[in-house]
A and B are shown apart, each in its own frame.
Chain A
Amino acid sequence: GIQVEQSPPDLILQEGANSTLRCNFSDSVNNLQWFHQNPWGQLINLFYIPSGTKQNGRLSATTVATERYSLLYISSSQTTDSGVYFCAVAQTWGKNNAGNMLTFGGGTRLMVKP
């Protein structure tokens, strides 16, 4: 199956710093999503971005599908940004369009210090 690798696995930032998280995947995909898992375990949808660039406030993401990677940028980090960031991808699967089964990367554990 498809492999998804995220880097770095752990990241410690001082509040106000910027960061870039990377997601590499081993095959072509039809779906790529970035999530933030909060301390209670809830996965928050950040971006649905199989290709191109999107921005939402201090966060932005870029996926270069032809080179099989995606980047998540966090600017002016805040303590509330702490948590685990997951990248997940999906490939088209079967005739019943159940192609959204996601394969998750290992995650980047971010800690933002005040």
Chain B
Amino acid sequence: GAVVSQHPSWVICKSGTSVKIECRSLDFQATTMFWYRQFPKQSLMLMATSNEGSKATYEQGVEKDKFLINHASLTLSTLTVTSAHPEDSSFYICSAGTGERDHEQYFGPGTRLTVT
């Protein structure tokens, strides 16, 4: 099956700093990737849709200036949490599909962010 990687797997940062998370599709090209956030013991919530070569589309309530998304190539999307605060601490997961219509999504292993 298709493989999606994320880096880093975990990160601790101080309040006010920025953190970049990478999502890569290793063995396929992904024109669209998705970023989700998961708080402890809760489900996954879609944050934004990342489109190669164009601006990301954010879900309602997600601050686009705080969560910067760049889809630089067909295999790489990045999520930058700017001026992080403790309430941004969460598990961030990306997903990608092969682009075939209505095909399944494959998820990265996630990045656990802790803001102190």
- Report A's interface with B, CB cutoff 8 A: 30-31, 33, 35, 40-43, 45, 48, 50, 86, 88, 90, 92, 96-107
Contacts and interface: CB of A to CB of B under 8 A. Distances in A.
B112 interface: yes
30 contacts: A31-B103, A35-B107, A41-B91, A41-B109, A41-B112, A42-B109, A43-B107, A43-B110, A45-B1, A45-B107, A48-B103, A86-B43, A96-B32, A96-B51, A97-B101, A98-B32, A98-B51, A99-B102, A100-B32, A100-B34, A100-B97, A100-B105, A101-B34, A101-B46, A101-B49, A102-B44, A102-B95, A102-B105, A104-B36, A107-B43
B106 interface: yes
Interface residues of B, number: 27
Interface in B35-88: 36, 38, 42-46, 49, 51
B27 interface: no
Nearest to A48: B104
A49 B49 CA distance: 23
B34 to A, nearest CB: 6
For the residues of A in contact with B, the DSSP-based class is loop
B102 A106 contact: no
B74 to A, nearest CB: 14
Contacts of A40: 109
Contacts of A92: 102
A99 B97 CA distance: 10
A40 B1 CA distance: 20
Given A33-B104, A33-B105, A99-B101, 12 more contacts: A41-B38, A41-B109, A43-B110, A48-B103, A92-B102, A96-B32, A100-B105, A102-B44, A102-B105, A104-B36, A104-B44, A106-B43
